[in-house]
Structure 1
Amino acid sequence: MSINKTRGLLYWLARLLGDVNAVKRGRVGRRIGRRAAGRLTGRGLGRLFRRF
């Protein structure tokens, strides 16, 4: 298994554990909203820097 696959697996596992923790604490909506906002921000910045 390569380093990149191992890193990907660890990030996936961390995200899964964060989801479980959010469900446990009853903050799923907040987590989903923050994830969506992060994706939009990342896409916007990616498009901005791709043009220059």
Structure 2
Amino acid sequence: MWCEGKRSWPELVGVKGSVAVATIERENPYVDAHTVLKGSAVTFDYRCDRVRV
């Protein structure tokens, strides 16, 4: 699987989720970023076009 664009955003640790999502999607238009509430059920499959915040 080939993944394009930026893949890591350590500078966003501690930033409000909505700001982080907007930044991630602006810096890598190939991904869809979504906020996920702590404790929410999520799948553990790997997808390079998805970022969970």
Give 1 or 2: higher helix fraction.
1
Common fold: TM-score over 0.5: no
TM range (shorter): under 0.3
Give 1 or 2: higher strand fraction.
2
Q: In terms of Rg, which structure is larger?
A: 1
Relative contact order (C-alpha < 8 Å, sep 6+): which is higher? 2
Give the TM-score normalised by structure 1: 0.28
Give the TM-score normalised by structure 2: 0.27
